[in-house]
Amino acid sequence: MSQSNEQPTYIRIANDLRTRIQAGDPPPGGMLDSDAALVRTYGVARGTVRQAVAELELLGLVVSEMGKGRRVVGEVPGEPGPPSTRYEVVAAALRQDIVSGTLSQGSQLPQEMALAEQHGVSKGTARQALQMLAAEGRITAVHGKGWFVGDAQGALTRTDEVAEFIRKAILTGDFPRESRIPGESALAEQYGVARVTVRRAIALLEAEGIIESRRGVGRIVTYSHQ
């Protein structure tokens, strides 16, 4: 491991572990050494090791499995094998949606809690599934916004683009005050995006006070065109 003093010790350890993972030690699916073993390997405190491993988890390189330890996802190209854990099952379902186009490039994925409820798993399991897909390069996290299909540049645009399309339609009077805007499915088909992207775009407009959701009615335009 490099002994450069320009970075904190836990970052240097995280970088060393990342290099090992990329080299296949341990391979994808293998278990990372325990905290105690890493303490002995690097000669540091347990807290430092935990900080280093937390960095790997943030990068989506390892995921925690209760009662087992931390399993390596890795940065090895190729398709994953058959799912064997609950988070892999969730990841496989999302992967299929991405490959089939149900979740299009740039569309936003549901929040962790929504995914957990949808698949009947814990929030932590949903997070592991998202980290796995991030490690594969299929999705990316945008700070303050959530998870999106593809890279950060594309991720930022699709929700914002759909919101802008609807906003312009409202501001130009195509959707007058008190009119009901089309449903999520219709808008998704119209703009060629996933329903979740439309849902997030509508949430932006609701936050702006341009539209509001009324029970039993739908989304109604509240902006008054002058």
The single residue listed with the structure tokens 């347990």 is: 46
Determine the residue type at 225: H
Across all residues in the chain, what is the average pLDDT?
80
Tokens for 166, please give them.
């609807």
Asked whether the predicted pLDDT for residue 75 surpasses 70, the reply is no
Question: Does 5 have pLDDT greater than 70?
Answer: no
Q: Coil, strand, or helix at residue 75?
A: coil
Strand partners, 149: 139
- Helix, coil or strand: residue 3: coil
Q: What is the pLDDT of residue 83?
A: 53
Q: How large is the greatest C-alpha to C-alpha distance in the chain, in angstroms?
A: 71
Question: Which alpha helices (H) appear in the chain, and where do they start and end?
Answer: 9-22, 35-42, 46-58, 86-100, 112-119, 123-135, 152-171, 184-191, 195-208
Encode pLDDT of 84-141 as tens digits: 578 888 888 888 888 777 877 777 788 889 899 988 888 888 888 888 888 777 888 7
User: Could you give phi then psi for residue 41, rounded to 5 degrees?
Assistant: -65, -45
